A and B are shown apart, each in its own frame.
Chain A
Amino acid sequence: MNAIEVANAALEVVNGEAEAVAHVEHSGLARFAGSEVHQPTLIENAMVTLRVVQDTRVGVATTNKIDADGLAEVAERAHAAARSAPPDDGFPGLAPPMDPPKVEGFDEDTARLGPEEQAKLADAAIDAGGDVPVYGFFTSAMSDLAVASTTGLSVQQRMTDATALVVAADESGSGYAEQTAWRAGGIDPALVAEEAAEKARRTRGGGKIEPGVYRAVLEPYAFADLLDYFSHDSFGALGLLEERSYFAGRLDEKVFDEKISINDDALDPRGLPKSFDFEGTPKQRVELVEHGVARGVVWDRTTAAQSKNGAQSTGHAPPAELRDWGPLPSALSVSPGDVESVEELAQLVGDGLYITRLHYLGVVHPREGVITGMTRDGTFRIRDGKIAEPLVNLRFTVAVPDFLRDVLGLTSGAALVNSQNFYGERYPYGVLTPAIAAERFAVTGVGSKPGI
């Protein structure tokens, strides 16, 4: 069965008001380490989440048993949950029928890729690593998402995605690269591996620097990660309502450099397009930051109902198991600048740091947007406007608003950076961003040398 058939079958066994979210996954991930495929994983699954409403009592149950008995059981468990829930006057009701926007994001060739092709594409990356062993994966998938409800809502979207990710590393150096797209044909695993290996060769003999505040260039991989973490507290409505967000009390104020404009746009075909959210609400492009001014956050139906300003859902309800987080961006997009290349960004920096990738970020102060983490797989000094000698991995502790307050430049090209680590059900999303050069990047410690 496809997703809408699963959702409709689930609705048929429910008494009363209900919503069914069905998710079907066919995926393959050929993971390799030391230039050998070591963890190849093929997944076939279909899940359905039923949300039933009895007056304003709401219960949720999920299953992957989608035969008649399984659906009857999940319906009974959802009803039991609803019976135990107290009335909720804040429940906004199920979404009404709406026509979602037509988006791209499905490619037949990608959907057809099987284990042989996935292994072959992983092999292409392994071959291209050359003298530097490679670690990473090639993955592709077809996901099918549907939301149907007793309000008459019925929406479905088939999606494909593919990612090639490579860490090239030996005893003395490491480099990183990745490509992600909804068309596997747009992915070149060999090129990804070559980029990672070339960078790894340049990181050998990394030196230390003193902690302090440096000018820095962040490649899209690094900037996407930083922004993604910042967004969890600051770009969602729940963070705003709970005063965790840096934007709390600052909407319509200038918070960043005027070169910074950020939106969340799941309709953009350059990303991993989505038509609707997990409540079936159509996706909207949301202006988060416009020329440095905080403009808004993303909403779902629940937070919109809690808003005192008449906010409406922007189509950002997460899946049921992540509902505690509130609505979250899933297609962040940073407007590019006018700088031709990262080398030109380095010229703007003059004296500073060049950072490829970040690792293990942690939010230190959500309200202040302070994030700590390490650099990894390609950290260099910039001297005299040129990318110079390699550095060891650096610990940073950065207030993101401070980092974005004085921006030296952004590249004119943007890259799509995969942000899903493929936990739980497959729902590909990423950040579309250029590389950035900024005035202040706070290094608070030094770590290990690059390399395996």
Chain B
Amino acid sequence: MRDLCAAAVDAATGAGAEYADARVVAKRNQFVATKNGRVERLADSESEGIGVRVLVNGAWGFACDRRLSSEGAREAALRACTFARAAAGRHSSRQLAPVASASATHRTAVERDPFEVSLDEKVAECLAADEGMNGPDIVVRQAMVRAQREHKLLLTSEGTEVEQELIECGAGIECAAARDGVFQMRSYPSAHVGSSSQMGWEYVDGLDLSGEAPRVAEQAAALVRADVCPSGVMTVVLDGDQVALQVHESVGHPTELDRVYGSEASYAGTSFLKADDLGSMQYGSDLMNITADPTTVGGLGSFAFDDEGVLAERTAVVEGGLLTGFLTSRETAARIGAGNGGSMRADGWNRMPLVRMTNLHLEPGSGTLDDLLADVNDGVYMETNRSWSIDDKRLNFQFGTQIAWEIKAGKLGRMLRDATYTGITPKFWGTLDAVAGRDSWRLYGLTNCGKGQPGQSAHVSHGAAPARFRDVQVGVRS
């Protein structure tokens, strides 16, 4: 791998690049999914190749090739230079924040390598959980487990050479109930392909899918008979899973500095934040503390160095409700004049690195979920994301959850279905008046964060605990 990267970087600098980096990436994925007692998908995929990024006359170029050969490496480098040169000329020159060159290796610590776990065991795990969701009104039962190994080597023309092996796995179950034209879903531990972690198979073992399956099915069946969540302005308590989604969409994306500068305007969108909001923008209440931490054990956004070779560091993004940091690349860090990047990741060898969330956490507060509920006279408690939508500046959002309960006089009451809530980002975070404590704080790992053209999917974790928000608009439907 190293020789190929070196050949690519040499070819690029020889062709006039003032900067070049090359990444060889080999990725393997296993995915097992069952539906209604039948194996729906049993797949094992791998992909490898080299991606070369260059700066020529101040303009970026990126090209890649699946061939891990000297020829493939050199050709990718030269094509990247050609593309950059074609774009240069009337281009403002790209500057990169300086970083010390690094030489390091890193591997995810695992107790049980997920690729050493037999496919037989993975199939059995899914089928057992699938069977556990059998019950009245259940029309679809699904279980899945997944594993990924990404081995990559980055070499830059500035002398950085970093080799990393990142291992992750995940699992989830979901069932759907239907009755009298009402269709409802329930998932565990999260919706949208379960939850994943950068750990070994011990993570999947700890989820106890089979143990949770009967509860999931019972709740789905109960939901088709539940009342529709009422509309109105009220206090909302969100479970950690929904808080994680709220953090992702309304804090993570708007604090990506490339979005602030407009790089994503044509697809994912921009941000309501401006660069000069740093240090002055009141994002939320003083209970709102958000950190970006690529060193979190088990986080899907964890690494030793990002895909530009910047050392992983924990940073504060919001402190006491005040905006104190952005997620940056070397280029955007140089432009804002703060930091040196550290959030650049690419979706494999054939995509250019972009500013991506690492692990973005809402830091814990104190107390338990019961403590949060106790101080609510009339409100709604919502669990597990079902739908999400937010505008291109990450300001106006509408989220829905799979299940909810009314809160009356500090206690959970009747079950409710079709719960949604809506808000404007800083106003909503300004109503945060309680976050549960460390004992309720969990990591939620999602694998479907989209950005970029051509599209890239990132894996990212969020630490979150249940949280309480006052005066929230609940129940928006056509």
**Residues of A at under 8 Å CB distance from B?**
27-31, 33-34, 36-47, 49, 58-65, 74, 77-78, 80-86, 88, 90, 114-116, 118-120, 122, 133, 135-137, 139, 165-167, 169, 174, 213, 242-244, 249, 320-321, 323-324, 359-367, 370, 372-374, 376, 393, 395-399, 402, 421-424, 442, 444-448, 452
Return A6 CB to nearest CB of chain B, in Å.
11
Check if B243 is an interface residue, CB within 8 A of chain A. no
Is B62 an interface position by the 8 A CB rule?
yes
Are A85 and B64 interface neighbours, CB within 8 A? no
Instruction: Verify A324–B477 contact, CB threshold 8 A.
Output: no
| B80 beta carbon closer than 8 Å to chain A | yes
Other A-B pairs, 12, CB within 8 Å; known A64-B47, A119-B86: A40-B86, A43-B64, A64-B46, A244-B183, A364-B387, A364-B418, A365-B418, A370-B477, A373-B389, A397-B476, A397-B477, A442-B478
User: Quick check: is B206 within 8 A (CB to CB) of the other chain?
Assistant: no
Provide the residues of chain A in CB contact with B391, threshold 8 Å. 359-360, 374, 376, 393, 395, 447-448
Q: Min CB distance, B48 to chain A, in Å? A: 7
Q: Are A423 and B83 in contact (CB under 8 A)?
A: no
Q: 8 Å CB contacts to A: which residues of B13-40?
A: 31, 33, 35, 38-40
Q: A442-B478, A447-B396 given as contacts; is B39 within 8 A of A86 (CB)?
A: yes
Which residues of the partner chain A approach B400 to less than 8 Å between Cβ atoms?
Answer: 362, 364
Least Cβ distance of A384 to chain B in Å?
Answer: 26
Chain A residues, Cβ within 8 Å of B43: 59-62, 81, 320-321
Q: Is there an interface contact between B398 and A39, defined as CB atoms closer than 8 Å?
A: no
Q: A42-B80, A324-B40, A399-B478 are in contact. Are A37 and B396 (CB under 8 A)?
A: no
Q: Give me 16 A-to-B residue pairs in the complex whose CB atoms sit less than 8 angstroms apart, sorted by A's number.
A: A34-B261, A42-B64, A84-B118, A114-B82, A118-B83, A133-B262, A242-B140, A360-B389, A362-B387, A363-B387, A364-B400, A395-B396, A396-B478, A402-B478, A444-B398, A447-B395
Cα(A165)–Cα(B453), bound, Å: 11
Interface residues of B (CB under 8 A from A): 31, 33, 35, 38-49, 59-67, 76, 79-80, 82-84, 86-87, 90-92, 118-120, 122-123, 127, 139-140, 176, 178, 181-183, 261-267, 269-270, 272, 350-352, 354, 386-393, 395-396, 398, 400, 418, 420, 422, 450, 452-457, 476-478
Q: Does B119 lie within 8 Å of A84, measured CB to CB? A: yes
Question: Nearest chain A CB to B47's CB is how many angstroms away?
Answer: 5
Contact B183 A116 (CB under 8 A): no
Which residues of the other chain, B, contact A64 by a CB distance below 8 angstroms?
46-49, 66
Q: How far is the CB of A5 from chain B (nearest CB, A)?
A: 15
Cβ-defined contact, A46 with B66, below 8 A:
yes
For A398, list chain B residues within 8 Å (CB): 478
**A320 to B, closest residue via Cβ:** B43
Is the beta-carbon distance between A366 and B183 smaller than 8 angstroms? yes
User: Which residues of chain A are near B182, meaning CB under 8 Å?
Assistant: 367
- Please measure, in the bound complex, the distance between the C-alpha atom of A119 and the C-alpha atom of B90, giving whole angstroms: 12
Nearest CB of chain A from residue B268's CB, rounded to whole Å: 9
In the complex the two chains form, what is the Cα distance from A395 to B140 in whole Å?
32
Report yes or no: B41 in contact with A115, Cβ–Cβ below 8 A.
Answer: no
Closest chain B residue, CB of each to CB of A61:
B44
- In the complex, A27 Cα to B387 Cα: how many Å? 33
A445 with B86: CB separation less than 8 A: no
Take A45-B66, A244-B183, A421-B455 as given contacts and tell me if A40 and B477 are in contact as well, using a CB distance cutoff of 8 Å.
Answer: no
CB neighbours (8 Å) of A45 from chain B are: 49, 64, 66, 350
Knowing A45-B49, A62-B45, A393-B396, say if A29 contacts B87 (CB, 8 Å): no
CA distance A274 to B215 in the complex (A): 45
Contact indicator B83/A119 (Cβ below 8 Å): yes
Taking chain A's interface residues, is the majority helix, strand, or loop, or is none over half, making it mixed? strand
| Most chain B beta carbons < 10 A, residue from A360, A366, A424 | A360
Residues of A within 8 A of B87 (CB): 30, 36-37, 40, 119, 122
Contact of A376 (CB < 8 Å), options: B119, B392, B418, B453: B392
Q: Are B59 and A169 in contact (CB under 8 A)?
A: no
Q: Chain A residues near B178 (CB, 8 Å)?
A: 243, 367
For residue A122, which residues in chain B have a CB less than 8 angstroms away from its CB?
87
A129 → chain B, closest Cβ, in Å? Answer: 12
The listed residue (B33, B40, B86, B477) touching A115 by CB distance below 8 A is: B86
Residue of A39, A359, A395, A446 with most chain B CB atoms under a 10 A cut-off: A39
Given contacts A61-B44, A81-B119, contact A34 B262 (CB under 8 A): yes
Which of chain B's residues has its CB closest to A77's CB? B44
Is there an interface contact between B39 and A39, defined as CB atoms closer than 8 Å? no
What residues of A have a CB within 8 angstroms of the CB of B455 in the complex?
A: 421-424
Smallest beta-carbon distance A160→chain B, Å: 16
What is the minimal beta-carbon distance from B201 to any residue of chain A, in angstroms?
15
Question: A367 to B224, alpha carbons, bound, how many Å?
Answer: 12
Bound state CA distance, A82 and B183, in angstroms? 34
A85 cross-chain contacts in B, Cβ below 8 A = 39, 42, 123
B352, A39: Cβ atoms closer than 8 Å: yes
Q: A33-B262, A243-B178, A448-B272 are in contact. Are A41 and B44 (CB under 8 A)?
A: no
Contact in complex: A423, B454 (CB < 8 Å): yes
**B475: shortest Cβ distance to chain A, in Å?**
10
Across the interface, do B123 and A444 meet the contact criterion of CB distance under 8 Å?
no
Which residues of the other chain, B, contact A372 by a CB distance below 8 angstroms? 387, 389, 398, 476
Closest beta carbon of chain A to B124's beta carbon, Å: 9
**In the bound complex, do residue A421 and residue B450 qualify as a contact, i.e. CB atoms below 8 Å apart?**
yes
A322 to nearest B CB, angstroms?
10
Taking the nearest CB of chain B, how far is it from the CB of A118, in angstroms?
8
Which residue from A63, A133, A359, A370 sits with its C-beta under 8 Å from B45?
Answer: A63
Task: Tell me which of B62, B123, B389 contacts A86 (CB under 8 A).
Answer: B123
A27 to B455 alpha-carbon distance, docked (Å): 13
Q: CB-CB < 8 A to B450: which residues of A?
A: 421, 423
Contact A42–B389 (Cβ < 8 Å): no
Q: Enumerate chain B residues within 8 angstroms of A115, measured Cβ to Cβ.
A: 63, 79, 82-83, 86
Judge whether A39 and B82 touch: CB under 8 Å.
no
Q: How far is the CA of A372 from the CA of B400 in the complex (A)?
A: 10
Whether A135 pairs with B118 at a CB distance below 8 angstroms is: no
Residues of B within 8 A of A38 (CB): 60, 263
| Complex contacts, A397 vs chain B, CB 8 Å | 398, 476-478
Specify the chain B residue showing the minimal Cβ separation from A423. Answer: B455
When chains A and B are docked, how far (Å) is the Cα of A62 from the Cα of B91? 40
> Which residues of chain B are within 8 angstroms of A393 by Cβ–Cβ distance?
391-392, 396
Partner of B389, one of A28, A31, A61, A362: A362
A411 → chain B closest CB, angstroms: 25
Q: Are A167 and B265 in touch, CB under 8 angstroms?
A: yes
Given A28-B83, A86-B127, does the pair A136, B266 have CB atoms closer than 8 Å? yes
Task: Given A39-B62, A137-B453, A447-B391, check contact A323 B176 (CB 8 Å).
Answer: no
Can you name the residue of chain B whose Cβ is closest to the Cβ of A46? B66
Give Cα distance in the complex from A115 to B388, angstroms.
Answer: 37
Bound Cα distance A6, B396 (Å): 48
Bound-state CA distance A421–B140 (Å) is 29
Chain B residues, CB < 8 A from A42: 62-64, 76, 79-80, 83
CA distance A81 to B398 in the complex (A): 41
Complex formed: what's the CA distance from A374 to B422 in Å? Answer: 12
